[in-house]
Amino acid sequence: METIEVNLGKRSYSIYIHQGFLTDPSTLNSETWSRYFHKKRLLIVSNDTIAPLYIEQVKAFFKPASSIDSVILPDGEQYKTLEYLNHIFDKLLQENYGRDCVLIALGGGVVGDMTGFAAACYQRGIDFIQVPTTLLSQVDSSVGGKTAVNHVLGKNMLGAFHQPKAVFIDTEFLKSLPVREFNAGMAEVIKYGIIWDIEFFEWLEQNIEPLKQLEPAALIYAISRCCEIKADVVAQDETERGCRALLNLGHTFGHAIEAEMGYRNWLHGEAVAAGMVLAAETSQHLGWVSFETVQRISRLISAFELPLVKPKSMSANAFIKHMQRDKKVLDQKIRLVLPTQIGEAVVTSQVSHQQLIDVLS
């Protein structure tokens, strides 16, 4: 079992990474059980795709709790709204849950974000635990305390920073993940290599097939390295005032795609993949990276059957409209995360609207 610490003082927590948590609870010692679950009242939040597959196993895993119940949401980014967030609050209030209860997020990024936001709001803040079931959520959204729901005018515009008490990552979940969903998660994995660690990027180039074949050693290394990087970044900048913004490589373009497409058809990771290529092309347009660097990034993204271009129906002006609502905008200036070489990136507001239009056209 790999254990990674997110060091945030009183809000510090552990990320546990293992193959087979659900079938082998003995991997956790009694102190861990007591700290998180003993005599706690738990509410599992999941969706109608994951719950039939795993919720009974998860209930058995958390059996030291005093009681365990669940609320099941519909599956899909289009349901990541205030309307469906209220389903969690309805359950909490109808069943008289107190401030000592714990929410368990069992699902991908949508479930994790909504559960975390509900935990941040309910009675001004209760504990929650992440049990991410997709690659994307295991390497990115379950770590760092970003919680939110979408608004029709922008992704993740309504939310709060609220750190989980722990993250339990079981690579066994990935065996039931559709190939398209796994590939979408690889976009976030590749992101870490581009912004932070060229050696990890090179390792990914050399381990495409082991990752596609879900080889346990490759999966655990990739997930662990991503979590190590994110834990380091979050410890330095919990509320995204500085270096944490680098984790948004490709996201400003990607969120624009998702919003324009109505949070349908394109998966988050697919939009981020196209967004990372657009970010690299913007860097090339500014003379910051070479054509060869853009091609190298594109080849690795393409190896996981991810899109390299924006939707044909989406105009440059549509991008600009959505990007002006991005959370990184300061003084009405769009700020982008752009690579300066593989393994390094910067946040910049030096890209003019005309330069963006040139790239997007």
**In the Cβ-directed half-sphere of 184, how many Cα atoms lie within 13 Å?**
19
Catalytic one of 240, 260, 270, 281:
240
User: Whole-angstrom distance between the N-terminal and C-terminal Cα of the chain?
Assistant: 48
CA dist 167 and 175 (Å) reads: 19
- Backbone phi and psi for residue 253, each to the nearest 5 degrees, phi listed first: -65, -45
CA dist 26 and 33 (Å) reads: 10
Is 299 a catalytic site residue?
Answer: no
Is 251 a catalytic site residue?
Answer: yes
Is 86 a catalytic site residue?
Answer: no
* DSSP notation for 95-124: TT--TT-EEEEEESHHHHHHHHHHHHHGGG
Catalytic one of 47, 150, 156, 188:
188
Catalytic one of 230, 310, 322, 327:
230
Is 35 a catalytic site residue?
Answer: no
Is 39 a catalytic site residue?
Answer: no
Is 240 a catalytic site residue?
Answer: yes
Inter-CA distances, 269 with 75, 253, 264, Å:
16, 12, 13
Catalytic one of 29, 31, 96, 124:
124
Catalytic one of 183, 191, 248, 281:
248
Catalytic one of 251, 310, 322, 327:
251
CA angle 60, 61, 64 (to 5 degrees): 85
Catalytic one of 244, 310, 322, 327:
244
Query: Do 8 and 163 touch, CB atoms closer than 8 A?
Result: yes
CA dist 349 and 83 (Å) reads: 35
Q: Which of 53, 8, 83 is nearest to 233 (CA)?
A: 8
Matching residue, tokens 């990474």:
17
Q: Among positive and negative, which fits the CA dihedral 334, 340, 342, 347? A: negative
CA dist 306 and 271 (Å) reads: 9
Is 268 a catalytic site residue?
Answer: yes
* DSSP notation for 169-192: EEGGGGGGS-HHHHHHHHHHHHHH
Is 165 a catalytic site residue?
Answer: no
Those residues with Cβ within 8 angstroms of residue 207's Cβ, 6 or more apart along the chain or in another chain: 218, 222
Token code pair at residue 108:
């991908």
Three-class SS state of 246? helix
Catalytic one of 18, 80, 146, 162:
146
- For residue 217, how many other CB atoms are within 10 A of its CB? 10
Catalytic one of 225, 255, 310, 327:
255
Enumerate the active-site residues.
124, 146, 188, 230, 240, 244, 248, 251, 255, 268
